[in-house]
Structure 1
Amino acid sequence: MFTGLIEEIGEIVGIIPNPEGKIFSISCRITMENLKIGDSVAVDGVCLTVVDLSENRFSAQAVHESLERSTLGIAKTGNRVNLERAMPANGRFGGHFVQGHIDGIAEIISWKFQSESAVLTIKIPDEFIRFIAEKGSIAVNGISLTIAKKEGLMVSIALIPTTLKTTNLSLKNVRDFVNIEVDLMAKYVENFLHQGKDALTSEKIKGWGFGRN
């Protein structure tokens, strides 16, 4: 599990295809602290398992499904990626629950800069738009963000100066793609509501003790 608070930006310094998918070697500094083989690291929001370590870089395995669902499938050596180590059980929680299981990719439609801040608009794939709500949460390239506006498939997100300075979003241009993970709670709610035609009714709610005088 991750918080969506990026620890640093790393650089992809090697990509090696293998039968399972691809192994990415990533140069970084903060992420290396206390990192062990077998640990999980979110790379642009994709949860990867560390398979090798050296002095200033780690290597992580991306399986075929992750490559197909995320921008890692088109990543190149030299690309800068957001990094976050898995949240420890006793760690401070500051963003929202991010699993590192990418739902898909979104296209950057526009940037609107306002002094040191910006509004980013992305186009969400149709199959995920039902999970999007204004003032709700979304992870974009692993960053925990709040949705400012939703119009059709277009979702606008306000970015503060710190986010622009400490993540790779400021390196992205119109028509570039970013990874998205919709809010986990929205998925649970939808699953609950679709258990059956009468999965949630006023009678059931009253049966649980709510709505009684």
Structure 2
Amino acid sequence: MFTGIVEELGTVESVEDQGDAIRLTVRATTVLEGTGLGDSIAVNGCCLTVATRTDDTWTADVMQETLDKTSLHGVAPGDTVNLERAVTADKRLGGHIVQGHVDGVGTVLARTPSEHWEVVEVAMPEEMGRYLVDKGSITVDGVSLTVVEARPASFTVSLIPETLARTTLGHRQVGDRVNLETDVIAKHVAKLVAAYLPTSEHSKEQQA
């Protein structure tokens, strides 16, 4: 589990093509402190497992399923990525509960700068819209953010200078792909409530 508070910007050192997977090596410092083999690190919001490590790099195996459903498909040496270690029980939950399981890939639609923040609009798969509400939580490339406006097929967030400076969202451009994870609590509530809602067939029977 993660909190969506990026600890460090890492740099992709190498990408080894293994056919139906890649072996991803990332250069980092902070997230390697106290990290051992088998530990979890989120890369742009994707939970990956440390397979090997050195003093300043770590490597993870990324399966085809992850490549198919996240923006890690196409990652290249030199790319900057958001990194966060799994949260520990004694750590402050500064963001919200983040699993590191990407729900879909969005696209940056617009960036509107102002004096003290920047409003960013992101397109998302329409099926994710049911889990978003104004002032609710959304994870974008592993960054915990508050939804300003939830729309049917997109949403907006306001990025403060700290977020712009310390995460990859500071230089994402219109058209760039980003990983999205909706609030896990919203997903559980939606599933539980769905069992008590009338189906379309039931509604048709009542109308008849």
Q: Deviations over 1:23-76 (max 9, x none)?
A: 110001111111101000000000000000012111012122111110001211
SS of the residue corresponding to residue 91 of structure 2 reads coil
The percent identity for this pair of structures is: 35
The 1:10–1:92 alpha-carbon spacing in structure 2 relative to 1, beyond 3 Å, is: same
Residue 171 of structure 2 is matched in structure 1 by 171
In structure 1, stretches of 5+ residues that fail to align are 199-213
In structure 2, stretches of 5+ residues that fail to align are 199-208
> What displacement does 1:20 show?
5.7
- Give, in whole Å, the separation in 2 of the partners of 1:80 and 1:123: 22
> What displacement does 1:151 show?
2.8
- Give, in whole Å, the separation in 1 of the partners of 2:20 and 2:91: 32
SS of the residue corresponding to residue 9 of structure 2 reads strand
- Give, in whole Å, the separation in 2 of the partners of 1:138 and 1:21: 28
- Give, in whole Å, the separation in 2 of the partners of 1:5 and 1:170: 15
Q: Is 1:73 paired with 2:73?
A: yes
Amino acid at match of 2:175: R
TM-score normalised per structure 1:
0.89
Residue 132 of structure 1 is matched in structure 2 by 132
- Give, in whole Å, the separation in 1 of the partners of 2:172 and 2:197: 43
Alignment of 1:1-213 (within 5 A): 1-18=1-18, 21-197=21-197
TM-score normalised per structure 2:
0.92
Amino acid at match of 1:159: L
The 1:197–1:111 alpha-carbon spacing in structure 2 relative to 1, beyond 3 Å, is: closer
- Give, in whole Å, the separation in 2 of the partners of 1:20 and 1:77: 19
> What displacement does 1:150 show?
2.1
> What displacement does 1:78 show?
1.0
Residue 201 of structure 2 is matched in structure 1 by none
- Give, in whole Å, the separation in 2 of the partners of 1:196 and 1:15: 47
Which moved further from structure 2: 60-69 or 75-84?
60-69
- Give, in whole Å, the separation in 1 of the partners of 2:143 and 2:93: 14
Structure 1 stretches of 4+ with a deviation exceeding 2 A read: 17-20, 195-198
Contact kept, 8 Å, 2:15 with 2:23, in 1: the verdict is yes
- Give, in whole Å, the separation in 2 of the partners of 1:20 and 1:51: 17
Which moved further from structure 2: 46-55 or 15-24?
15-24
Q: How many residues align?
A: 199
SS of the residue corresponding to residue 14 of structure 2 reads strand
